[in-house]
Amino acid sequence: MTDIIQVLPDSVANQIAAGEVIQRPASVVKELVENAIDAGAIDIQVIIKDGGKTIIQVIDDGCGMTETDARMAFERHATSKISGANDLFSIKSMGFRGEALASIAAIAEVEVKTKIHNHEIGTFLSVSGSQVTKQEPISTQSGTNILVKNLFYNVPARRKFLKTNATEFRHIMLQFQRVALAYPEIGFSLIHNKSEILRLHKVTLRKRISHIFGKSIDQQLLPLYNETDLATISGFIGNPDAAKKTSGNQYFFVNNRFIKHSYFHKAVMKGYERILSPQYYPFYILFLNVDPETIDINIHPTKTEVKFEDERALFQILHAAVKRTLGKYNIVPSLEFDDEGSVDIPPPPNSGAEVKIPEVEVNPDFNPFSQTKDQIKKPPAGWEQLYHAFENDVPESKNTESPENTMASSGIEPKEAEGMNNNLIQVKYKYIFTPVKSGVMIIDQKRAHERILFEKFLHAQQQEQGFAQHSLFPQTVSLDPMYYNILTEIQDDLNQMGFDIRAFGENTIVIQAVPADFSHFDPEETLLNALQEYQDTQQMNFGAARERIALSMAKTYSIDYGRELTNQEMRELIDQLFACEVPNYAPDGNPVISIIAMDEIEKRMTKPN
């Protein structure tokens, strides 16, 4: 019998390895820019075409490579940065695995021009599908110029999974921003489809932050510095006023490498405890400098996760440093959040103090009609009126459907809402409790409103009939390029929903009008929040762009927890909720309604035997 085991050809092995390192154009950008930084560049240019699908080019003025090194660089495990396993524990450079260039060359067409400073002649090299196709001396500027064309040209399955150019470019922006934040002393520029998106001169970190996030952020920055034996922590944390309802602008860098660290994130959030309302995220950019021997950055191929030797101690240090910084700027917890004996004050986030409500599924077979006639209470006064107000709010086509029909299809019976009468109690400014025939119904106020707005926004688009508009004194807003980019993508949809937003030159827009219902919101802030939400839903795999827009808008404009509701507002909220197509679930799938069944209550009230 012949032997059947074969060693995979290098090109195939590289292609497989590439899957780990290179997920999308943004990963190529990250690897190439990191190489340029390791090469000591002080000016790095990134040129992108078609979201990086056609062209990714990185030009640096770093040390360059010799002819041999240029060729070697494309071999797997070729690295100039470590030479033995021991070096792994003292890595100071960005790269060290020697995989990136080999991986990229396995799945794209690559051309390199490189020259060592003071050398007369440089090297040109082209590699495709892991094969060197050309090598020759050329005259070129000092440094390295790498051009990556047609990413995944030979791996159609991967190419097919790339998202739209705009989306891929947004990923590139995110990677680019992270590196640019970590290296303010390096100049960067980013060009997409021939237009310059960002040009960042070498500056201080503080200036770099405002170049990236917009000038208005500057006044929100509180400098933080803390030095201990374990780590030096430096950077900025945001004034709580600047906190957003969406996460996204929280950055940790360890030895200048961007990382995600949920445990340290908690440490920072704990520092803001009782200062920030629940659901708000502060801005922060924090640099942890630690002895490389106390961390393990090798646990994840894309290297955004890092293991620390002393996480608990660092947690405490970080938490204390954040608290101290806030204290220094006189930002201290307000007294009203402290225990003052009032039961209705919302608990501070993550305090665990909240009473847990037993999870009870909505019972689809539940039928409030089974109650006898005289048990049915009369609809509350003003019901029609409130409902009428709502009718005027919904798009045309829905008016032809009776609310009963839409409710029936949702599993909640029509008379359920009616049976609830005026017994509405707001608990912890978060839930609405109301007795129903089968027990107690609990409605999450924020999620309920999200569902209502979501359907409203969605229909406004489908019928191309927006909300009434409320014109503003035109507001000019300069957006950071990433938001601008998102905005241009969804501008038409927003305008259908009752906004009037126009592009106004470089990264600037003018808001002329907002949907009338939302005229009391700050237009700039809410728009930014909505754009950030939209960005965040990207990771959620959440349906079509339109749905994502509706979701983002619903999340942004929905009433929050902690907001006191009048009886009439609760009433209206519930009426509108039960007129929705899917009242039981918020657009992101979280339950809106829960019923604690009578049985369950009785069980709890029975003496155990």
Rounded least distance, CB 394 to ligand ADP, Å: 56
User: How far is the C-alpha of 282 from the C-alpha of 277, rounded, in Å?
Assistant: 10
Cα–Cα nearest to 394, from 456, 461, 310, 321: 456
Rounded least distance, CB 34 to ligand ADP, Å: 7
**Beta sheet of 431-436, edge-to-edge order:** 425-427, 431-436, 439-444, 593-597
Query: Where in 9-38 is the site for Mg ion (CB under 5 A)?
Result: 35
Rounded least distance, CB 177 to Mg ion, Å: 19
Q: Which does 413 bind (CB under 5 to 8 A by kind): ligand ADP, Mg ion, none?
A: none
User: How far is the C-alpha of 317 from the C-alpha of 487, rounded, in Å?
Assistant: 39
Q: Which does 65 bind (CB under 5 to 8 A by kind): ligand ADP, Mg ion, none?
A: ligand ADP
Rounded least distance, CB 34 to Mg ion, Å: 5
Residue placing its CB nearer to ligand ADP in the complex, 62 or 419: 62
Q: Which does 78 bind (CB under 5 to 8 A by kind): Mg ion, ligand ADP, none?
A: ligand ADP
Q: Which does 73 bind (CB under 5 to 8 A by kind): Mg ion, ligand ADP, none?
A: ligand ADP
**Kind plus residue range of the DSSP H or E element containing 216:** none
Query: Where in 130-149 is the site for ligand ADP (CB under 6 A)?
Result: 144
Q: Which does 60 bind (CB under 5 to 8 A by kind): Mg ion, ligand ADP, none?
A: ligand ADP
User: Near Mg ion by CB under 5 A, which window of 88-96, 146-154, 365-373, 581-589?
Assistant: 88-96
Residue placing its CB nearer to Mg ion in the complex, 28 or 448: 28
| Residue 604 burial (10 A CB sphere; 0-12, 13-18, 19+) | exposed
> Which amino acid is residue 79, in one-letter code?
T
How many CB atoms are located within 10 Å of the residue 458 CB?
21
Q: Which does 97 bind (CB under 5 to 8 A by kind): Mg ion, ligand ADP, none?
A: ligand ADP
User: How far is the C-alpha of 509 from the C-alpha of 486, rounded, in Å?
Assistant: 12
Asked if residue 555 lies in contact with residue 406, where contact means CB atoms within 8 angstroms, the answer is no
Is 95 an interacting residue with respect to Mg ion (CB under 5 A)?
yes
**HSE of 232 in the Cβ direction (CA atoms, 13 Å)?**
6
Instruction: Pick from 33, 41, 47, 100 the residue near Mg ion by CB under 5 A.
Output: 100
Is 101 an interacting residue with respect to ligand ADP (CB under 6 A)?
yes
Rounded least distance, CB 38 to Mg ion, Å: 7
Instruction: Pick from 11, 54, 80, 193 the residue near ligand ADP by CB under 6 A.
Output: 80
Is 36 an interacting residue with respect to ligand ADP (CB under 6 A)?
yes
Q: List C-alpha distances in Å: 600 to 365, 409, 413, 533, 595.
A: 16, 26, 20, 38, 10
Asked if residue 408 lies in contact with residue 398, where contact means CB atoms within 8 angstroms, the answer is no
Query: Where in 39-78 is the site for ligand ADP (CB under 6 A)?
Result: 39, 60, 62-65, 73, 78
Residue placing its CB nearer to ligand ADP in the complex, 81 or 245: 81
Is 188 an interacting residue with respect to ligand ADP (CB under 6 A)?
no
Q: For residue 150, what is the DSSP state?
A: S
Query: Who contacts 432 (Cβ-Cβ below 8 Å, separation ≥6)?
Result: 424, 425, 426, 442, 443, 445, 448, 565, 570, 573, 574
Rounded least distance, CB 73 to ligand ADP, Å: 3
Residue placing its CB nearer to Mg ion in the complex, 95 or 466: 95
Asked if residue 377 lies in contact with residue 419, where contact means CB atoms within 8 angstroms, the answer is yes
Asked if residue 413 lies in contact with residue 407, where contact means CB atoms within 8 angstroms, the answer is yes
Is 497 an interacting residue with respect to Mg ion (CB under 5 A)?
no
Is 35 an interacting residue with respect to ligand ADP (CB under 6 A)?
yes
Residue placing its CB nearer to ligand ADP in the complex, 278 or 292: 292
Rounded least distance, CB 8 to ligand ADP, Å: 19
Helix (H, G, I), strand (E, B) or coil at 126: strand
How many CB atoms are located within 10 Å of the residue 540 CB?
11
Binding site for ligand ADP (CB under 6 A): 31, 35-36, 39, 60, 62-65, 73, 78-81, 95-102, 144
Binding site for Mg ion (CB under 5 A): 35, 95, 100
